[in-house]
A and B are shown apart, each in its own frame.
Chain A
Amino acid sequence: MAERERKLTPPRGGAFVPRVQVLSAADVHRALTRIAHEIVERNRGLEDVVVVGLQTGGVPLAYRIGQILGEMHDGAHVPVGTLDVAFYRDDIGIRPVLPEASTEIPGDLAGTVVILVDDVLFTGRTIRAALNALSDFGRARSVQLAVMVDRGHRELPIRPDYVGKNLPTRFDEQVDVSLDGVVLGDVVPR
């Protein structure tokens, strides 16, 4: 979603035309469940784990992961926060950058294990901005990255720790991710 938003902003904007459904809603749920298990496995439990969803595409995924983690551990409370990285982007002044939604980080992140959640990993620039933003909330013990779709085309040395699906794409294709599924499509110019 977030990626689509940026692509659709004028003057490059266009209409998103879905072409192929890659994952169904059930597939997305299964992938999130697997990611939740991998998070527990890698961190040997949920101690100090904080899930942070990137606005706007990563937020519903983050809340779902938090919910699954809670269910896995008898209702253990995993703090979930949201982060809007607009003020940390490196394309301010190049394209319209306006924050989409609120940043709510649960408490100080010092010493925590932050699971950063986004919908699509593409150039890596959003994650770069998110890492900078996170450091303003305290020195996390570690930051791990969970994405529903890794579509390639990285422009920065950033890699995900948990991936829902690796999805090779053309640079000009669009990936739309929500809890209802993953759709590959194109942006058609007006």
Chain B
Amino acid sequence: MTARGAGSAGTGARSSRARTGSGAAARVGAAERSGAAARVGAAERSGAAARVGAAERSARSSRADVASRQDSDDGGSVPAPAPPGGPGGRRRHLLSIDDLGAEGIATVLRLSDRFVEVARRSIPKVPALRGRTVASVFAESSTRTRLSFETAARRLSADVISFSPAGSSLAKGESLRDTVETVAAMGVDCFVVRHGCAGVPAQVAGWTGASVVNAGDGWHEHPTQALLDCATIRQVLAERDGLAVDDVGVDGFVGLRVAIVGDVAHSRVARSGILALAALGARVTLVAPGSLLPPSLAGWPVEAVTADLDDVLPETDVCYVLRLQTERGAGAFVPSPREYTAGFGLTVRRAALLPDHAMVLHPGPMVRGVEIAAEVADLPRTVVLRQVANGVAVRMAVLFLLLGAEEVTGDA
């Protein structure tokens, strides 16, 4: 695992360079910003990952044979230099899947199981984050992510304040930074940020003392989506084998054949998904027309890239269908939606090529008839609604890890 962890860290550095490159092709200003943000994020990242990892280790080591793990605990709990002004002198962010690493992903998934159980209760609410305030800053349209985050925060008893640029002072010409600092001054523990430009959440992290969760930034990343996808895959795998989710861990991902189909170039979901799945040991194949692939895949932890969907499907355990991101200009990269469907849509005929056990995921919103046929979208193997349901539990886990499961600073 150490080797894989080191590998993925290296990959992260490389792929952030690749991302900057792809941004430059489209939007010079955005590329510059994302470059700066990537550097900020990288510095932040290693610390955050270590801290989340440390919390996990302490929980596990306390279970049984303690002595053997003491050394690593010691290493993990060395406090990182805390930025001033943060609540408790500490803050953690989830800006990229790289922040977590395989161990952190496993922690989030395990914790999500607990929250899935909470959601089944007649009163699906726990007082864990009472008195904390979560601000959702969505500068891009969103239904499920925003509602999902806000539901998650409320189910943890946190207070939620939200604003979107339309109807806020941003529309009057205030800069994002001033707006964020204004909101932060009201006492916010966590910002959930979505923005059309890559790297904005990382910048917000630099402006405030609060934790920041990336809820999707441009073409860059959408880490909680990747986490909820992993949670869904893990759930389905456990059910298939008749096991309790608790018992399967994340071993089920090792060697899992995942095909990510469609608009990879414009998809932050794909970027986070690839990083998460690869970190857990899955074998990822990209299926897309050349025009919808990023200019460079150097450093992406993918097994193969192909344009022949029919060829890949029989060898696929998880088929991840992406939406054609027409609002990011993807429409200009394919001759027509019909032609795209002919080559890369998951039609009824193609769905029949999948092995019986294979599942189909889609990050939503689905455009039926383009990337996925209406009939396929309604098949039992298509687990889109479970993804949404797991989204709340996974986001509860993320918020709890960032705001709740804090480590002691000094002697308590």
One of B38-46, B121-129, B369-377 at the interface: B121-129
Query: Which among A5, A10, A100, A101 has the greatest number of chain B C-beta atoms within 10 A?
Result: A10
B62 touches A5 (CB 8 A): yes
A11 touches B127 (CB 8 A): no
For residue B128, which residue of chain A has the nearest CB?
Answer: A87
Tell me the complex Cα distance, A56–B63, Å. Answer: 9
B55 touches A13 (CB 8 A): no
For residue A132, which residue of chain B has the nearest CB?
Answer: B127
Nearest CB in chain A: distance from B412 CB, A: 6
B127 touches A8 (CB 8 A): no
Selected from A88, A102, A108, the residue in CB contact (under 8 A) with B128 is A88
Selected from B54, B126, B246, the residue in CB contact (under 8 A) with A87 is B126
Tell me the complex Cα distance, A84–B125, Å. Answer: 14
Nearest CB in chain B: distance from A42 CB, A: 28
The digit string for B152-169, where 1 denotes a CB below 8 A from any CB of A, is: 000010000000000000
Nearest CB in chain B: distance from A98 CB, A: 4
Tell me the complex Cα distance, A93–B404, Å. Answer: 5
Selected from A12, A15, A97, the residue in CB contact (under 8 A) with B405 is A97
Residues of chain B lying within 8 A (CB to CB) of residue A87 = 114, 118, 126-128, 156, 400
A100 touches B63 (CB 8 A): yes
Selected from A6, A8, A98, the residue in CB contact (under 8 A) with B56 is A98
Using A6-B62, A132-B127, A138-B122 as known contacts, say yes or no to A15 and B412 having CB atoms under 8 A apart.
Answer: no
Using A92-B404, A97-B404 as known contacts, say yes or no to A8 and B123 having CB atoms under 8 A apart.
Answer: no
Query: Which among A92, A97, A190 has the greatest number of chain B C-beta atoms within 10 A?
Result: A92
Tell me the complex Cα distance, A99–B59, Å. Answer: 8
B62 touches A88 (CB 8 A): no
Residues of chain B lying within 8 A (CB to CB) of residue A97 = 404-405
B406 CB within 8 Å of chain A: yes
Tell me the complex Cα distance, A108–B122, Å. Answer: 9
Q: Size of chain A's interface in residues, with CB distance under 8 A? A: 36
Query: A101-120: which residues lie under 8 A (CB-CB) from chain B?
Result: 101-104, 108
A13 touches B70 (CB 8 A): yes
For residue A136, which residue of chain B has the nearest CB?
Answer: B123
B126 touches A5 (CB 8 A): no
B66 touches A16 (CB 8 A): yes
Residues of chain A lying within 8 A (CB to CB) of residue B113 = 102
B405 touches A10 (CB 8 A): no
Shortest Cβ-Cβ A-B pairs, 3 listed: A87-B126, A5-B62, A87-B128
Q: Which residues of chain A have a CB within 8 Å of any CB of chain B?
A: 4-6, 8-13, 15-16, 56, 84, 86-88, 92-104, 108, 132-133, 136-138, 190
Q: A92-B128, A98-B59 are in contact. List 10 more A-B contacts (CB 8 A).
A: A12-B408, A13-B70, A96-B59, A96-B407, A98-B56, A99-B114, A102-B117, A133-B126, A137-B121, A190-B70
Q: List 6 A-B contacts (CB under 8 A).
A: A9-B59, A9-B62, A10-B408, A96-B59, A104-B117, A138-B122
